[in-house]
Structures are given as structure tokens and as C-alpha cells.
Homo-oligomer: A and B are copies of this chain.
Amino acid sequence: MADIDILVSEVGPRDGLQSIDAIMPLDAKKAWITAEAAAGVREIEVGSFVPAKLLPQLADTAEVVAHARTIPGLTVAVLVPNARGAAAAIAAGAHKITLPLSVSETHSLRNLRRTHVQVLEEAAAIGAMIAALPVAERPHFEGSLSTAFGCTLEGAIPDSQIARLAEGLMAAGCNEVGLSDTTGYADPAAVKRMIALIRGTVGDAALTGIHLHNTRGLGLANALAALDCGLTTLDSSLGGLGGCPFAPGASGNIVTEDLVFMLEAMGLRTGINIDALIAVRSILAETLVGEPLYGFIPDAGLPLGFSPAARHKEVA
């Protein structure tokens, strides 16, 4: 990250596509990923290794990973629900593997069909699998604390339970934990409080990223709170595609275009060309006909005289 300040991690090809009924053709996925990487996006969660019968939209994840790996400088991330998925992800050559653990056990059972103990067992199996690999081949392993800001089924989750699960993930071999506002319940004060809780439990270095939704319109305010705390990786989705199909009423990731605009406007380098990023929306519009695309900056346009590209040149 020497030449950027904030890593914007695009999750649309995973979180976005898993949330809609339409199945994007493999070629369109490849074009999307290629175009976003060309716009300067450094990390893309390209799919999920889940059974095709559960999420047919992501059945071609291995092929998508194979394509994404050919793009220089791109970190290819995937989601896995369990050790079997992790094995597939490793075989496909993913650079980063994220295992979600819903801190709400009710949501965990609904989402992954596993109790907390069972998910931590899967995490340990994945940790052992990775440890057995040569160092140079080990993917980065993140445990993501889903529903960290409350669950649509259980409501607020006790801090002690969240802290215990964060410790459990690290003990199982995760390189870091992430915070995920699966349900769109977060607010800026809660973001700061939860970051402090997790850091106090697993240490500052073990929490660098957050996955926020815009369900209640607070997505960018929550991102700002996370930036204030020093987090450096922010998940978002092109066109705001996605959300969580298993949490009733939850929908809408942070819009990548708007997030990048906010960051660049604040003088934080993302390495991303906003105009090129906005142009990628056409791939979604053409292949996901009828699917709403969100975002303010694509409609409103950049402020007069706004020139992050020029600023980047000065910096470089």
C-alpha cells in the first residue's frame, strides 16, 4: 500500500451477484473484474466457494479466480463457508480467503447452518490446511465477524460473545478478523466502539478492514468512522449491488463509486480512476437488465474542477 492510503475492496462479484436472482455469464464477470482492476481497484472478492445448488450465481467461481489471477497486481479474494470451500479456494489459487462467522448464532445457523463451535472447527481446519502449505503459497486468511452490529433475528449481540468469537478465529489460525455490518444496523458510534472492542481483544494489527452496508443510509458515515479509527480496508460494491440474502430486509452494500469519491475528495489515495470506475457500470447495466444500480456520483457528476488524477500525478 505504499502508493495508496486506503484499499477499496470490491465485493460486487461475490456479495452483489449472490444477492440477485439473475446469473451473470462468466464472460461478463471476467470483463467486470478486468475493467475494475484496470480502473485501479487492487482487491476484488470474485466469488464464493459454496455448493452450486445453494448459490448457482457463483457456481463458476473457480473459473473466475483463474481469470482474475492473470491480472497483475490484483488480490483475488473469495468467500468460503467451510473447510471444503477453503480447499477449493486454495486449489483455485485465491490470494485471500474469508470465512464468515455470524456473531449471532441464530444467523449463523440460518446462513451457514452451523453453530459457533462448528464454525470455529471449520476455521481451525482451514488454518491447519493453510499452515501445511509452503509459506509462499499460503493465502491470507480472514475471519469475518458477521452481524457484528446486531442481527435482524436476535437484535444486539453481547460484546463478550463478539470478543470471544474474535479470539476464537485468531486462535484457529486467521491472519486477521474483519467486522461486517451484515444487517445495516451500524452507526458511527457503534463502529468506533466495536473497533475498540476487537482491537482490545486481538490487537490493532489483527483488524484492518470493515464490510459495511448502506441499508439505512449510514454507509459512508460509518466508513468515515472506521477511517477515523485508522482502518485501511473498506469493502464496497459497484453500483451498490448486493446485501445479504439471508437477513430479511437487509440490502445494499456501500457504493464503490461514492466511496472512492469520498476518499479521493478527502485527499486519501485509492489508486482508482473514478471516471474509469463509473464506466464499468455499463457492464452491469448490460448483463443484469432490470437490476437497480445505486450511487450518487454517477448521476451528479464530479464537482467542477475536481481532479484526483492530477493530484495523483503530483504525488507520484
What residues of chain A have their CB less than 8 Å away from a CB belonging to chain B? Answer: 150-156, 183-185, 187-190, 214-218, 220-221, 223-225, 228, 249, 255, 258, 261-262, 265-267, 295-297, 300-301, 303-305
Contact = CB atoms under 8 A, between A and B. Distances in A.
Nearest to A153: B304
Contact of A304 (B151, B221, B224): B151
Instruction: Tell me the interface secondary structure of chain A in the complex.
Output: loop
A308 B189 CA distance: 15
Q: Most chain-B Cβ atoms within 10 A of its Cβ — which of A154, A156, A304?
A: A304
Contacts of A228: 228
Nearest to A214: B296
A188 B303 contact: no
Nearest to A192: B266
A152 B302 CA distance: 10
Given A217-B295, A249-B300, 10 more contacts: A150-B304, A154-B304, A155-B305, A183-B303, A187-B265, A188-B224, A190-B265, A217-B296, A218-B261, A224-B225
A220 B223 contact: no
Contacts of A266: 187-190
B297 A216 contact: yes
A188 B267 CA distance: 10
Contacts of A300: 184, 215-216, 249
22 contacts: A150-B303, A150-B305, A151-B304, A155-B304, A156-B305, A183-B303, A184-B300, A185-B304, A187-B265, A188-B224, A188-B266, A189-B265, A190-B266, A214-B296, A216-B297, A217-B261, A217-B295, A217-B296, A218-B262, A218-B296, A220-B221, A224-B224
